[in-house]
A and B are shown apart, each in its own frame.
Chain A
Amino acid sequence: MHRACKKGINRGDEVKIFVTINGGQRNIDIEADEMLLDMLRKIGLVSVKRACDTGSCGVCTVLLDGYPIPSCSYYAAKAEGHNITTIEGVQKEAIEIAEFLVSEGVEQCGYCSPGFALTILGMTKELQNPTEDDIKHYLVGNLCRCSGYVGHLRAINKYLEVKR
């Protein structure tokens, strides 16, 4: 069993966890059933958005030790000892992606954009020279209702081209 969960049982509903968030180490009081999304918003990281509540849409994506996860469906207690990254913590890397998205006009309402940009960052770390199918497969969990997706691909292809 995870260390944080043991602590949670010992202390009733209130739990203190130790996490690294955007490079800074913190002790945070959480409730035992609190989701990571709620914890992050509570401490002011409002770039993390709630959208579907069921881990289906990717809007609430954050990086856990560098890998994208849906924070709405991840218990905060499970983050004990891990590295959490939100877009506030990777402004320099994310702005490179963001500039390609805005130059296609494809961010539209922007609500899914922080989670989407983080997933693209995760992808660039995990996949070398991804094909179009690889890109779609990696990003399939990030839904977007505004853009129709094809503009995303135009932006990502240009971003990857420049990175190469």
Chain B
Amino acid sequence: MKEVNKSVTKADGLGLIMGAPAYTNDLAMNNALVIKVLRSPHHFAKIIDINTEKAFNMPGVECVLTYKDVPRNIVTRAGQGYPEPSPHDKFILDEYVRYIGDEVAVVAAITEKIALQALELIEVEYEVLEPVLDFENAENNTSMVHPEPECHSMFPMGFEPAKNIACTYEMNVGNIQEALRKCDVVVKGKYYTKAQAHVAMEPQSSFAHIDIQGRLNIISSTQTPFHMRRIIAEAFGMTAGKIRVIKPRVGGAYGGKQAIHGEFLVAAVTLKTRKPSKLIYTRKEVFEATYCRHAMRLDVTLGSDKDGNLKAIDMQILSDTGAYGEHALTVFMVAASKTLPLYNKVDSVHFSGKVMYTNHTPAGAFRGYGAVQGNFALESSMDELAEKLGMDPIKLREKNMIVQGETSPIFKIMGEGGEGIEMSIESCKLDYCIRRGTELMRWKYKYPRNQIDKNTVRGVGMAIAMQGSGIPYMDMGSAILKLNDEGFFNLLVGATDIGTGSDTILAQIAAETLGVDTQKIIVHSSDTDLTPFDCGAYASSTTYISGHSVKKTAEKMKEMIEEEGAKRLDSLQNQVVFDGKFIKSLETKEKISLKELCEQLYYKYDQKQLIASSSYVGTKSPPPYMAGFAEVEVDLETGKIKLLDYVGIVDCGTTINPNLAKIQVEGGLVQGIGMALFEDVKYSASGRLLTNSLMQYTIPTRKEINKITVEFAESYEPTGPYGAKSVGEIGIDTPPAAIANAIYNATGVRIRTLPITPEKILMALKGDASV
């Protein structure tokens, strides 16, 4: 492999660092109206009366919109494939507001200052309703978060708005009660994971204008331009043919930009005024009024025989989806479907639970997508079981984990929102990942703990993880390759580079297939008018799904070049080969360079444009695997935790671009470390979000990160493009459990609620079992 498995630099890297205009707000027209949103001060209320006259009459204000001024079509903003596995429960604007920050009214003015002043002039009378603030008591609450008759789900998912249930699910393999009864050793644990904020550095941004054909153009920091076009058309009751969505460079997303955020509102203003408009969220709006990770309660029971053969796994989850059910069902299912198959030798598995509506900021997609929550509970429980068995936690895992060539019944039973597909694992190097990780961590010297001095202890802990590679038979990627005169190519892909470098790795795959240098492939991505369909950047699908479509497209292009070359060499097509520079006849040994061929094709003889296109839908979702190892130091007097070292060994198949793959894992790890130790979405006693700025909500800084070592296992996935699986999400999965296990090994206290703060450690050391 010449261009693949090579650390080519990102095509857009230097331009971005050097400050070229690239992101939505850089590209918005200077005369765009500035949109500001009046947001609900109440958790739950009905708008009885709203008077926008004074605001509208203010000089410089061009448009004020309330629920009375926009179409009333119920949709889900989730940004998923169709039919969507999320309840349809959101109007563009509604008479009900369901969380502090929900949209009440929209002002568009010639300056930001005027828009902000006009917001103050809007008079709203609310009927304040009793909010649902505790997801554990949402079901029998007298308040109903979604009383509107239009809300519905597109297929059965247990949607019961009268009980504040967004969805439910249950699955069984074998009989769990019977299997647990037969077990020699059983451990039970109740775990809580908090909401987590994405904190992409670029806030959610969107800009709309009407083009010279009278069509609505939206430039947006989105992960899903094609889904966005469909959902906006649906919400406004217009044809998708009248909408163009362009994704420029995006300043980080991590799932946070999969859904529609401000795009409805720029569309509404621009459709009404026919003027360009933009909505750039403030950081406070990002925290309060986009979405976050689903907070969950997870009850896990594991049972084994006395030799440590795992026999039964029971996982029950209650999830908080907040005011809207975006990704409610799928995140909750992935918490099980991308953790439980790790241990496939059990007699019985049971998984069930519910996802509850509350009057919190909505939850939605976030890297890890449930798997990180499930992993924290399952992998903490595995250590608890190992201890009860008196067994080394690594040995327990090695004895029970899935190995290459095996399968799990869960793959067929559970997909994302419905049934899954049967799948045997063709690449799994977990055994190597564990072995290599223990070496690098110097596990045998460090496990379980070392007393450094009277008050300082060090401990190590680990966890294993899996994720997926796209959603089989659903997610589609496609590509177009265009050969240009002079012999370079345009690669047009719907795939959505959100900073990951996917444009670059897709170019590498095309270059490898064609035998040319990556620099010969000029990529344009994510424009619903100009690039072919792609589901978007989610579910760890870009390398595996879109990458595959690029490989197929490049194979077609290579055939086309050979066909045209053969004609010009008076040879049969099957007797010529294109090696990236020349098309050579195997019969006559004559050759023609690609450049000469292009001169002929575009200017001289039998002229034609060569264009190839192809698509790919996955027929399986091969999991990447990982083993994560943490070493912590704990001050027993203060509870202070220092993460000394983290080792992550990853099996993602072939790394198309080793550097970019490594950064994906390192970045994911640090987000997981943040979730484990620092990031705490907090509400006041009255339920108001306290962590609505980067002064209150702390993500890891570079000072919290000491040593991190990431390596990749030699691995080749036969179904992947050049052997690749996915790498975008797996990195975030192990830190919560590995760090919790390390803290237990260091201190003897088991923390089952995230984040693991010094306060909780001290409380646990003093005997408080509730943390």
Which A residues have a C-beta under 8 Å from some C-beta of B? 31, 45-54, 56-57, 59, 86-88, 91, 94-95, 97-99, 101-114, 117, 136-137, 139-140, 142-153
Q: Which residues of B contact A151 (CB under 8 A)?
A: 662-663, 666
Partner of A117, one of B12, B17, B199: B17
Q: Which residues of B contact A110 (CB under 8 A)?
A: 12-13, 16-17, 22, 249, 251, 499
B411 within 8 A of A: no
B17-A94 in contact (CB<8A): yes
Summed over the interface, the residue pairs from A and B with CB atoms below 8 Å come to a total of 178
Looking at chain A's contact residues, the main secondary structure is: loop
Q: Which residues of A contact B7 (CB under 8 A)?
A: 103, 105
A146-B663 in contact (CB<8A): yes
- B residues 1-46 near A (Cβ < 8 Å) are 7, 9-10, 12-14, 16-23, 25-26
Per-residue CB contact flags for chain B residues 249-282 toward chain A (1 = under 8 Å, else 0) read 1111110000000000000000000000000101
B18-A152 in contact (CB<8A): no
A147-B667 in contact (CB<8A): yes
B693-A147 in contact (CB<8A): no
B14-A103 in contact (CB<8A): no
Q: Which residues of A contact B21 (CB under 8 A)?
A: 46
Among listed B141-149, B523-531, B695-703, B754-762, interface-contacting one:
B695-703
Q: Which residues of A contact B202 (CB under 8 A)?
A: 49, 51, 109, 111
B702-A140 in contact (CB<8A): yes
Q: Which residues of A contact B55 (CB under 8 A)?
A: none
B638 within 8 A of A: no
B442 within 8 A of A: no
B203 within 8 A of A: yes
Output the residue of A95, A99, A113 with the most chain B CB within 10 A.
A113
Partner of B16, one of A57, A103, A107: A107
B19-A114 in contact (CB<8A): yes
CB-based closest 10 A-B pairs? A47-B19, A109-B499, A110-B16, A111-B251, A148-B666, A105-B659, A102-B13, A148-B670, A56-B694, A98-B17
Partner of A109, one of B20, B200, B284: B200
Tell me how far the C-beta of A112 lies from the nearest C-beta in chain B, rounded to whole angstroms.
5
**A47→B17 CA distance, assembly (Å):** 9
A98-B701 in contact (CB<8A): no
Q: Which residues of B contact A113 (CB under 8 A)?
A: 16-17
B10-A145 in contact (CB<8A): no
Partner of A108, one of B22, B252, B695, B708: B252
**A130→B200 CA distance, assembly (Å):** 29
Partner of B18, one of A114, A137, A140, A147: A114
A109 and B701 in contact, given A56-B693, A101-B17, A143-B201 (Cβ under 8 angstroms): no
Partner of B670, one of A47, A86, A91, A149: A149
**A45→B19 CA distance, assembly (Å):** 9
Tell me how far the C-beta of A139 lies from the nearest C-beta in chain B, rounded to whole angstroms.
6
B428 within 8 A of A: no
Per-residue CB contact flags for chain B residues 481-504 toward chain A (1 = under 8 Å, else 0) read 000000000000000001111000
B183 within 8 A of A: no
B695-A54 in contact (CB<8A): yes
B705 within 8 A of A: yes
Instruction: Report the nearest B residue to A112, measured CB to CB.
Output: B201
Tell me how far the C-beta of A97 lies from the nearest C-beta in chain B, rounded to whole angstroms.
8
B693-A50 in contact (CB<8A): no
- B residues 649-696 near A (Cβ < 8 Å) are 657, 659-660, 662-663, 665-671, 693-695
Partner of A143, one of B249, B253, B657, B694: B694
A95 and B18 in contact, given A104-B659, A105-B659, A107-B10 (Cβ under 8 angstroms): yes
Contacts A/B (CB < 8 Å), 17 sampled: A46-B19, A46-B21, A48-B19, A51-B251, A57-B201, A105-B10, A108-B499, A110-B249, A110-B499, A113-B17, A140-B703, A143-B199, A143-B694, A147-B663, A148-B665, A148-B669, A149-B666
A145 and B200 in contact, given A105-B663, A150-B666 (Cβ under 8 angstroms): yes
A99-B14 in contact (CB<8A): yes
B640 within 8 A of A: no
Tell me how far the C-beta of A22 lies from the nearest C-beta in chain B, rounded to whole angstroms.
11
**A146→B283 CA distance, assembly (Å):** 17
**A45→B201 CA distance, assembly (Å):** 18
B19-A104 in contact (CB<8A): no
Instruction: Report the nearest B residue to A139, measured CB to CB.
Output: B702
**A136→B703 CA distance, assembly (Å):** 6
A101 and B13 in contact, given A109-B252, A151-B662 (Cβ under 8 angstroms): yes
Q: Which residues of B contact A54 (CB under 8 A)?
A: 283, 693-695
Tell me how far the C-beta of A8 lies from the nearest C-beta in chain B, rounded to whole angstroms.
15
